[in-house]
Amino acid sequence: ETGVTQSPTHLIKTRGQQVTLRCSSQSGHNTVSWYQQALGQGPQFIFQYYREEENGRGNFPPRFSGLQFPNYSSELNVNALELDDSALYLCASSDSSSTDTQYFGPGTRLTVL
Amino acid sequence: RKEVEQDPGPFNVPEGATVAFNCTYSNSASQSFFWYRQDCRKEPKLLMSVYSSGNEDGRFTAQLNRASQYISLLIRDSKLSDSATYLCVVNSGAGSYQLTFGKGTKLSVIP
């Protein structure tokens, strides 16, 4: 069974740029959630995708957007990057029968300069 | 009031000690509760779910008190490998898929 994978592992961008992060869900999982974890904080929910549709969103501005593909993999896009967007971005997958039992990928560490 | 509050830590304990983590949550509609473990610069990993009846997994015991909106985790006979940050996690209400995390409590087990 393949676990959750994310790419890239690290990324450095400058303010104003755009970034796309990628996630492949665990085999058999059809739901993907994205979280932002700032240094010293717990992860914060960004949004969740189920069957290619957004299935809930946390308190993040519209410049955070996402996609889910037919194979259940997902992308997180962030436009107009700000310094405060520097964080670890975590993707978590789950089965629709138990969406609150989520399994995390290793994350993408984004640094905005 | 923060949605999920944990002991600020850090906790530094000797090997073999018993350590308890406490957590309170503000959303009375929350239905699912978890403890996750996060090693330094790694992803969170599910440690255990927490049920009203309490549950135990080896050296780890989790308790939930819905009336007080309080969750606890007890680790007995601490090992060096238990050193990590422990995150208290609740879902945001009935049928909700959104997990809300506490800030985490860092545990260091010392030889």
pLDDT along chain A (113 residues), means of 10: 88 98 92 95 94 91 96 96 98 80 94 98
Among chain B residues, CA nearest to A41? B103
- How far away is chain A from the Cα of B79, in angstroms, using its nearest Cα? 24
Nearest CA-CA partner of A84 in A28, A37, A24 = A37
Asked whether the beta carbons of residue A104 and residue B100 sit closer than 8 angstroms, the reply is no
B87 and A CB contact within 8 Å: yes
SS3 A65: strand
CB contact under 8 A, A45 and B98: yes
Q: Beta strand pairing status for B11-14 and B105-110?
A: parallel
Q: Of the candidates B4, B44, B97, which has its C-beta nearest A55's C-beta?
A: B97
Distance from CA of B57 to the nearest CA of A (A): 17
DSSP state of A113: -
**HEC secondary structure over B8-64:** CCCEEEECCCCEEEEEEECCCCCCCEEEEEECCCCCEEEEEEECCCCEEECCEEEEE
Measured distance CA(A71)–CA(A81) in Å, rounded = 28
- CB contact under 8 Å between A104 and B45, yes or no, is yes
pLDDT of residue B39: 96
Size of the A and B interface in Cβ pairs below 8 Å: 54
pLDDT tens-digit readout, B63-105: 999 999 999 999 999 999 999 999 999 987 655 678 999 999 9
**Chain A residue numbers touching B7 (CB-CB < 8 A):** none
Cβ of B99 and A100 within 8 Å? yes
Residues of B in contact with A94 (CB under 8 A): 97
Which of A:53-112 have CB within 8 Å of B?
55-56, 58, 90, 94, 99-107
What is the model's pLDDT at position B8?
83
A66, β-bridge pairs = A76
pLDDT band at B29 (very low <50, low <70, confident <90, very high): confident
